[in-house]
Homo-oligomer: A and B are copies of this chain.
Amino acid sequence: MSWIYFVDLFGTCVFAISGVLTAIHKKFDLVGSLIIGFVTAIGGGTIRDVLIGRFPVGWLNDRYYFLAVIIGFMVAYLFKNEVMKLKRSMFLFDTIGIGLFTILGIEISMNQGLNYEISIVLGVISACFGGIIRDVLTNEIPLIFRKEIYASACFLGGLIYLVSRELHLPQNANILLSILTVSLIRYFSIRYAWSLQILKNENEGFSADDEI
């Protein structure tokens, strides 16, 4: 599963960038921005590992996650104007990231013998709670609570992953299918402003899914 490992690291880096940009927007200093980037990138997976009881938590034993956060931090700080212009690409990476985080969370949970619905919940937690922690630490009401498509996309992607897994589809095809589902749902939801309830969204901080 080596390509998955690289995409995972890449997703971690993209999440860190998103966190650092939010922190810069809030006028946090260097260390504050680094911490926010860090918790945004590894928060979801950390909560999942703690809930399941996988210790030490994933990133403690793998220098590369740490490195991915540092790289994300430096990219966000040094090239923040360029990154802001690349919103479209950021959105793509961010979506691939949450799709993959969902799937990895499900896979890890299933391997621990947890049942289907709990595994999907843990997949969604893996993908979404990093952003929730970011918003809590920056004193915002978490964005996800007002834009349901984000978590719903993870949920549906996870559902498709579990179904294809039971149908014994090839692993790679399954992963691509699930990530594609997450990406398309998010893409069309933003393109056509899907929302179960219309909300006037006060636009706070940077979010890769604000525009496309």
Chain A residues engaging chain B, CB cutoff 8 angstroms: 23, 26-33, 35-36, 46, 50-53, 55-57, 60-61, 63, 66, 112, 114-115, 117-118, 121-122, 132, 136-142, 144-148, 150-152, 195-197, 199
Contact = CB atoms under 8 A, between A and B. Distances in A.
Contact of A148 (B32, B52, B199): B32
A23 B60 contact: no
A28 B146 CA distance: 5
Given A50-B50, A139-B141, A112 B56 contact: yes
Given A46-B51, A52-B55, A31 B144 contact: yes
28 contacts: A23-B145, A27-B146, A28-B146, A29-B145, A29-B148, A29-B195, A29-B199, A30-B196, A31-B144, A32-B142, A32-B146, A35-B144, A35-B145, A35-B151, A46-B51, A50-B50, A50-B51, A51-B55, A51-B56, A52-B57, A53-B55, A61-B114, A61-B118, A63-B118, A66-B118, A132-B137, A137-B141, A137-B142
Contact of A32 (B27, B35, B61, B144): B144
A139 B145 CA distance: 12
Nearest to A29: B148
Contact of A199 (B27, B51, B60, B142): B27
Top 7 closest pairs, chain A to chain B, by CB: A53-B55, A32-B145, A31-B148, A29-B148, A28-B145, A31-B151, A139-B141
